[in-house]
Structure 1
């Protein structure tokens, strides 16, 4: 899957493959030309990904090959036990979670899960949880608190499922309850946006001591397409909407809505998943070490103060 702005890079990479094949078939020494082309590709990548527009970052966040929640969990843990069901309605496949062992430390991992093909996407409801998904997440958080285990949430959703049946079962109440309960959790909570962070669907598992975003992700009350539809009655203005809403990780950090940005490999997390997972592991372990040094009540107070200060305006 190639995005529009990646076409020039792909063209040069195609020439590089042809050059290498020619060298193999004809035994001609083209090492200098290969080296020069590789350097040109590297430079073009640096320039391209350093100057991405907000909409282009939104596109990268949705790349079909990006690691999803279960990819991170599988790469981060040596043992993982997935836990199912909200003990009320059913098991929501769009929300996954369970205990995992990471470098000798037990962590509760929770996150939205998308699918890579049509069958998986239908099974996972395109990463859009129903109320029972948020209630399952809360059940797992409470279990982690009971056993004094830290919580890591991975956020990647186009939003909570907006269907009539979801509203009938209390979608808004389920998300609101999660917000309230997550403020008071006694264990360290780390929230990481790994793809799309849309609306209350993302916020339902995003109240934490530390909230971080990967470099090429977005976080907003609404998607650029839906914003464009509301304001201009058309999806054609999604790029302008993305710029107006300022949805990127850098924007969120500037607004002090998140605590940090996790750098991705050049070209995005999907280009080097193993490297991205390694970076994620170091980041999580370092952050957990910091949070575990803070007394419980102080950590809860800091969490409440952080979110309470968002959007506050002082007039002189």
Structure 2
């Protein structure tokens, strides 16, 4: 039915049960990858033992040997798949399988139809715009999604069926592995855009997802529940966004983001003293580590993907 050679990888960390569920859903797609690498960041043998019980011949286990984070694991997966000579690579995560059984087939239909109109570097189902002056990801309106089949975007959200044109990987475009965790997809997407490639999504598909999960009609200023246990992410998102902006020459956005995040320290105390204090700690450490050039995993902040 389709001529494109298609492989993929799934990043995992200490979640063997969720991983096997995701593998099943990926390989049961109406158009599925010919090979699927499991890039295992785990610090134990549970995942490897679980993979060894599976009967899929096209699932290939790759033990990293240390926790490379999503950024390092993504680079490994992209390179392994590109070396096979495939045309497109699925970039997946262990707890975010395709929502519908025909997602890949639908995306490949767009690739075939629009390849003459767009220099497609990647395609997916959930996208955003990127404000280069402020360093902000910008939500696409419901109206624009509903009326668009193929929509150029700046960023394709992580774990949203990102399909990568293998040609860009052979050109040396992949996420900065030293980021470890947080905005690794944005790191890749900005490089992709600078190299002259386009990121596109199926806009009507994203609209369907918003409808399915009750996310239509989103309004700014809506206060959402805050969880102090997830604030370790704030360290990585603060630090890594600043690196991405600086490395790509968005210096005005670097200044804007530092000021913005410092001002938000006081606001965070509205969610409680504990939340406000930890938010302040992760923000200040994230900014300071950016200023001194520190990357990689911060074991003092933690890594909560368990």
Larger Rg: 1
Give the TM-score normalised by the residue count of structure 2: 0.28
Q: Higher helix proportion, which one?
A: 1
